Amino acid sequence: MASLLETLKFVKNLGVGEVQSDEEMTVIPLVGDSLGHIAAPDYLNFTRTTTYGSMEYENKDRENPAIIPANMMVRGKLAQDHAMSGSGVVLTASKRLFENACCIESSQGGYFSGQKVDEDVLPVGLRKSLLDPRLRSKKEYDKLWGRIRTWLSGLRRVRAGGDRAHLRDFFDEPDYKEALETFAAAFEPVENQIGALIMFNGIPVGLEIMPSAAHWAAYWKWLIRGCYGSQLIKLKESGELPRSTMILPEIPTNATSDEVKAIMTQFIDNIKMSIAPMLDAIQVASQNQVDARDNMITELIRTDGGGGGDIITQDSKPVYLSLVL
């Protein structure tokens, strides 16, 4: 078994940016050079659902393949909301239909065909369900409904209903919506940021590395909001995560303003330095190929402790990593 830190060695000049923390969530930005040759995010578009459980994406770039970040979801009017079962690769100037997608709005009919959609990434809890290779590859549109119901069940403001598996009941609820927006506003991408380590109460819950800073800039909000922010709300409301905030360093009363600056800087530096041992402690349990397109290979990583996610390589060099831990 390799440690997660070794898996991360593929990123050249990987550095750590300014630590950002709000309530129980801490985001440690990872900065570095771009990876591989991947289409800019603007070239990739969700186009339609052809049947329940299918999602089509188009890559308009004529030179480079595009990567759909893991578990992207689309929500819109007069059609059933959908989510990807994993990440996806769409080759240059082409469309690709993913037939193992999940419906995430059980009693709404209709297909998407070009209308405006809101995008996000599935909450961590639901992403974890899709780490099971059998569930991920299954072509059954309702495969996530049971888990969605369970996920929604602990949330006080979500409309109750026997068989209702509408993830939008959470995302459209005004209080949760505002909380997620406010939450996302507390974090900002930093220069050359290509990824982040996300922690709840100081424990890693996610590791995301995109092919470039442009990709991070395009997707960070959906990750922080939809994936990690929503999970944090869920955990807090269901009492699974105790309230906590980072304890700030004591400043001696006789400290000069220059000393204050040094104490606070040291505090931040210590957090940055704590990353390596944390990642070193996470072991990669298995790594299996789930998709191959041209020179792009997607593998499903499983970590000890029930986490995992996708790593995508281009010409055998990793260009994308998304793990929920």
Partner 1 sequence: MEKKLDSGMLQYVPKGAYYEEKDEQFTAVTKMWDGLFEYDRALFALTSILNGTGFSKGAMTHKLLSNPDVPQSGKELVPDGLDSEFERKVISYNLQRLAEKQMARAIRNLLMLAGGELHSRVNNSRTRKVILSFLFDRPCKEIDALAINFKTKLAKLVRHSLGKQDLYKVLNGDTALFRKHIGCYNALAMPVIHHLFNQVPKAANGIRGHFPKIDDYWCAKHAAAHGNIEEFIKLIPKLPWRVAMGFRNSYKLPIEKSAIMGEAKMSDKEELTTEAAVKRSGAKARKVNYNAQDLYDLWKALYYKMANDETDNIDKIAEAMEAKIKTMQKLDLGDNCAVVLDASHSMFGSDERPMHPFLTGLCIIGAIENVQDVFIVGGRWKSMDGTDKKVVFPANASPLWKGLVDAVISGAENILVISDGYENSVKGMFEHVYKHFKDTGYDFNVMHINPVFSADSKSGTARTLAEDVTPMPVGNYKYLETEFIFNQMLENTEAVKQILIQKYQKLIGGN
For partner 1, the binding residues (CB under 8 A) are 17-23, 26, 29, 178, 181-182, 185-191, 245-246, 248, 251, 253-255, 257-258, 260-261, 264, 267-268, 271
Q: Which tokens hold the place of 52?
A: 């329940």
| CB 292 to partner 1: min, Å | 37
Using the minimum distance from each CB to partner 1, give the nearer residue, 264 or 276. Answer: 264
**Beta carbon of residue 247, minimum distance to partner 1 (angstroms, whole number):** 10
Which is closer to partner 1, CB of 23 or CB of 291? 23
- The DSSP bridge partners found for residue 75 are 118
Q: Taking the complex as a whole, how short is the minimal distance between the CB of residue 166 and partner 1, in angstroms?
A: 21
DSSP state of 133: H
CB of 203 to partner 1, least distance (A): 16
Nearer to partner 1, 257 or 316 (CB): 257
Q: Which residues contact 71 (CB under 8 A, 6 or more apart)?
A: 83, 84, 85, 86, 87, 121, 122, 126, 127, 130, 227
The DSSP-derived string for 230-279 is HHHHHHHHTTSS----PPPPP--TT--HHHHHHHHHHHHHHHHHTHHHHH
CA pair distance 153, 149, nearest whole angstrom: 6
Query: 49, 115 in Cβ contact below 8 A?
Result: no
Nearest CB to partner 1, comparing residues 1 and 248: 248
Nearer to partner 1 among residue 218 and residue 271 (C-beta): 271
CB of 267 to partner 1, least distance (A): 8
